[in-house]
Chain A
Amino acid sequence: MTKITHFNPEDKFHAFLKTCGDTEYTTGPLNGENIAIKDNISTKGIETTCGSRILTGYIPPYDAHVITLLKKAGAAIVGKTNMDEFGMGTTTENSAFGPTLNPSNPDHVPGGSSGGSAAAVAAGIVPFALGSDTGGSIRCPASFCGITGLKPSYGRVSRYGLIAYANSLEQIGPMAKDVKSVSRLMEIITEYDPRDPTMINKPYHCRCDGELNGISVGVPEEFFGKGVDPSVASVVWNAIKWFEGEGAEIITCRMPSVEYALAAYYVTCTCEASSNLARFDGVRYGPGASLKLSWHDSFSERRTEGFGTEVKRRIMLGTFALSSGYYGKYYAKAQIARENVKNDCMRIFKDVDLIIGPTMPVVAFKLGEISDPLQMYLTDILTVPANLAGLPAISIPCGKVDGLPVGLQIIGKPFEDERVVETAYCYEQGG
């Protein structure tokens, strides 16, 4: 049975790049619930641009695995949300189609790169959204907009159809107002897909019954170190105190590899991106290449015009880091640092069930506030460890500073997404 929902919202915060108007849906557990999809997830017949000019007019001929699953579950795919171009950014200001605004305060950014999805949920336009998280791109905007967003364990959700930015780091994940909704989406999108060789077949099931069951929680000192806004830190500590009050054991610990995490992250993601984005050469997508020029000149022209500044910066960085003579210095070293982060996490997880801290060291910036890319990269410091180590991590609202939401980050052991969600649910209900 196919039904039709009509979707034509007032989009004050520019959350959407495209809304679908009349959308068909079928019967299923989600039964006509509207869902917004980040614009880097392929949707058959719906333009998918990754927030980039270079993909203008690209209409995928196939659905990403998660889209197939959502349709099967009766969801209505109502629109594609704004994002930093190809996921490269922390504010959604790097979209080629203009920034998204934070519904909590439109003078501020919604976070990124899944800023459109977060804003659409926070503004109440849709109950559900999908984002993708390469170094915090679900959790950062969830934190800035005051909603819940989960980055699943690496390999828990099929990446088939997710337009790759950094394959070894990223996952598609659910974003919603509350933990139960996030959990509902997880039950649907974790269905196994043999087309993603990095996926593990592990069906998701979470009771969400509000039992903390005497967990122990690790709090790395580094998560409250330099660069973390003290008022954000204090809101997060209050949340941690709540867990203590509920009988959780709180153990402060050290995670010294955090020092290298950002470097490892930026080298890895730029290297992978430089290769992933090579296919956008004007031969098949976006405005056509000039027929008067040679191959290389026309590729160069298309890419110069089609990519934004941040994307070009990262392509150049990655190209450089992979060059002969530099590979060992950068890419290979980054992989060692990445192993160290993983080992650090696994060492901590010998003593604790979860790691807790702030999602972001700050609350949402003002639009245009940060123009120095390095200063911007530093704000990813607390979210990238989970990507480097492939761990499940959720951000849930835990208070406000100056009227802007603060996110609490809960990180779990590999493939213990359910425990992360369960714990977040307990906090949401009681905290």
Chain B
Amino acid sequence: MSRGGKLVNMIIGLEVHCQLDTKSKLFCGCSTDYRDDGPNTHSCPICSGLPGSLPSINKKAVEYAIRVAKSLKCEICEESEFSRKNYFYPDLPKGFQITQYDHPLALKGILTIDDDEGLEKIVRITRIHLEEDPGRLVHKGGVDRPKYTLVDYNRSGIPLIEIVTEPDLRSPQEARRYLQKLRATLEYLSVFDSEKEGSLRVDANISIEGSERVEVKNITSYKGVEKALTFEYTRQKNALRRGQKIIRETRHFVEGRGVTTSSRSKEMEQDYRYFPEPDLLPLRVKEWSEKISLPELPDARRERFIEQYSCSPIHAKTLTGDLKVAEFYEKVAKINPVLCATWVADTLLGELYYRNMSVQAVPHERFIELIAILDAGKITEKSAVEVLRNLLDQIKDSGICESPNECIVRLNLGKTGGDAITKAVGEVISEQKTAIKDLKNGKKGAMNFLVGQVMKKIRGRGDPQEINLLLEQALSPGDE
């Protein structure tokens, strides 16, 4: 929202909570893979907070968090310490959450994104810390007036990483791009599975320059962030236009309705009474971090794609923006990497998005076959798109698909051979005297008409450029 046309500047900071994709929970041995199982089947004395149980740190979770901190170029703290955040809530089995307070894992990092003008922009990271997820409440009979509420501790103790930004974001679109880049980074680090339900939660601080800031909680999706912030921006802007003041408050995002609602404003400022968790020893994370190496990250991979596969910068960015897409591309970029880049970035992703499918569902051998057929000039681009759509529909329906060749034969999409085209060109030249006269008189569009007539004769299964060439050759006067 630039100063020029629009009214005001928007200032956004995000607090992102991501579940780390470890096998076991943060302080006990319970498995984190609970999504298909019944309530309270992944709990033990530790994560259900039974009296007398003690937490033991899951080293893998710390390692994952250090990976994230390193990839965001943070300053890793010498010693990191856990603290207790004390508050009462039925989903919190111990009456406190083990989190980090004045000795977090890391401080002061950066993440580079594109701003709204497409220029590179640095978003500053304030801090990164580790904490445990609380349990989950299941309200029976509606959230507003539940008959009763059940507690499920399966989620309790899942490792969370909290990543806090400075108020550096300036539009809902930037916020979305920040999240997408962050997700890509976490996935490249193999520490996060964005497809797990509830694996990402965002709190956003948003204000209009010069006004109080509002905290929007309960955003649980990438699209939700943009929606919530757009709604909140409009609400605040309208309030200011009407001469109202923005009050400092916490609002909840209602995903279904795309609106934010005020939490009861009488709610007192919570005093969490933080103090160091006496049951856990401080972690020497700086020392630890020196032993941890990082895999290739999105920016590096993008540069490599440009170098190694001669991808265009735009294609390279699209292909590396999602780990699974990047991995798919590298598997299929065997024959003609540039053609593949176009096909994955421009065609395949669009078709997948339209069908709400993941790239992981696409068998890469089939895709390679299709590109090979296209690259050999055996079918036209248009036919190739038709084949791809057919194959994707089959996968969506049954999980499997026929081979591109089978599809081409079945739909009779094979490109017409050279003889047939030459024959058709000859026929069109003898039939379309008027058009040829027009062409010779320099009338624009005559050539396109002629190509179209040839195509009609071969039922579209020819390469327009090739036909064009043949026509030109046949019509060029007296050359050899």
Asked whether B349 is an interface residue with its Cβ less than 8 Å from the other chain, the reply is no
Residues of B close to A167: CB separation below 8 A? 278-279
- Min distance, Cβ B269 to any Cβ of chain A, angstroms: 9
- Check if B86 is an interface residue, CB within 8 A of chain A: yes
The stretch among A214-222, A226-234, A252-260, A277-285 that forms the contact with chain B is A277-285
B275 interface residue (CB < 8 Å to A): yes
A319 to B272, CA, bound (A): 10
B88 sits at the interface (CB 8 A): yes
Provide the bound-state CA to CA distance between A319 and B271, in Å: 10
B51 within 8 A of A: yes
* B53 within 8 A of partner (CB): yes
Q: Is the interface of A mostly helix, strand, loop or mixed?
A: loop
Q: When the two chains form their complex, are residues A278 and B94 in contact, meaning their CB atoms are under 8 A apart?
A: yes
A127 CA to B421 CA, complexed, in Å: 106
Of the residues A55, A166, A283, contact of B151 by C-beta under 8 Å: A283
Whether B279 lies near A42 (C-beta < 8 A) is no
Across the interface, which residues of A come within 8 angstroms of B271, CB to CB?
323-324
Looking at B54-62, B108-116, B227-235, B323-331, the stretch in contact with chain A turns out to be: B54-62
Of A13-21, A180-188, A193-201, A363-371, which stretch is located at the interface? A193-201
Whether A295 lies near B279 (C-beta < 8 A) is no
User: Does the CB pair B89–A279 fall under 8 Å?
Assistant: no
The answer to the question of B17 belonging to the interface, with a C-beta cut-off of 8 Å to chain A, is no
Residues of A within 8 A of B273 (CB): 274-275, 319, 322-324, 327
User: Do A275 and B84 touch (CB < 8 A)?
Assistant: yes
User: Does A58 belong to the interface (CB within 8 Å)?
Assistant: yes
* B420 contacts chain A at the CB level, 8 A cutoff: no
Contact at A272–B88, with CB atoms within 8 Å?
A: no
| Docked-complex contact B45 and A197, CB < 8 angstroms | no
Does A128 make an interface contact (CB < 8 A)?
no
Interface 1/0 per residue, B225-253 and A, CB below 8 Å: 00000000000000000000000000000
> Hey, what's the 0/1 contact readout for A53-81 against B, CB within 8 Å counting as 1?
00100101110100000000000000000
Q: Is A382 interfacial (CB-CB < 8 Å)?
A: no
Cα-based distance from A163 to B93 in the complex (angstroms): 15
B354 at the interface (CB under 8 A from A): no
In the complex, how many angstroms separate the beta carbon of B134 from the nearest chain A beta carbon? Answer: 13
Which B residue's beta carbon lies closest to that of A278? Answer: B95
With a cutoff of 8 Å between Cβ atoms, the chain A residues found around residue B275 in the complex are 271-272, 275, 322, 327, 331
- Give complex CA distance A283, B151 in Å: 9
- B52, A161: Cβ atoms closer than 8 Å: yes
Could you say which of A194, A275, A284 has the most chain B C-beta atoms within 10 Å of its C-beta? A275
Q: A347-371 interface mask toward B, CB cutoff 8 Å, 1 = contact, 0 = none?
A: 0000000000000000000000000
A291: interface (CB < 8 Å): yes
Determine if A279 and B95 form an interchain contact, defined as CB atoms under 8 angstroms apart: yes
Complex Cα spacing A280 to B50, Å = 10
Q: Which residues of B contact A48 (CB under 8 A)?
A: 51
Contact B95–A58 (Cβ < 8 Å): no
Q: In the complex where A281-B88, A319-B273 touch, is A272 in contact with B54 (Cβ < 8 A)?
A: no
**A159 to B278 Cα, complex, angstroms:** 12
Q: A60-B50, A195-B54, A197-B280 are in contact. List 16 more A-B contacts (CB 8 A).
A: A48-B51, A60-B51, A62-B45, A160-B52, A161-B53, A162-B52, A164-B51, A194-B56, A197-B57, A198-B281, A278-B86, A296-B88, A319-B273, A322-B275, A324-B273, A327-B273
B interface residues with partner A (beta carbon < 8 Å) = 45, 49-57, 84, 86, 88-90, 93-96, 148, 151, 271, 273-275, 278-281
Q: Could you write out 15 A-B pairs with CB less than 8 Å apart?
A: A50-B51, A58-B51, A160-B52, A161-B52, A161-B53, A168-B278, A196-B54, A197-B54, A198-B281, A278-B86, A279-B51, A279-B95, A295-B90, A322-B86, A324-B273
* Residues of chain A having any CB pair with chain B under 8 Å: 41-42, 48, 50, 55, 58, 60-62, 64, 159-164, 166-168, 194-198, 271-272, 274-275, 277-281, 283-285, 291, 295-296, 299, 319, 322-324, 327, 331
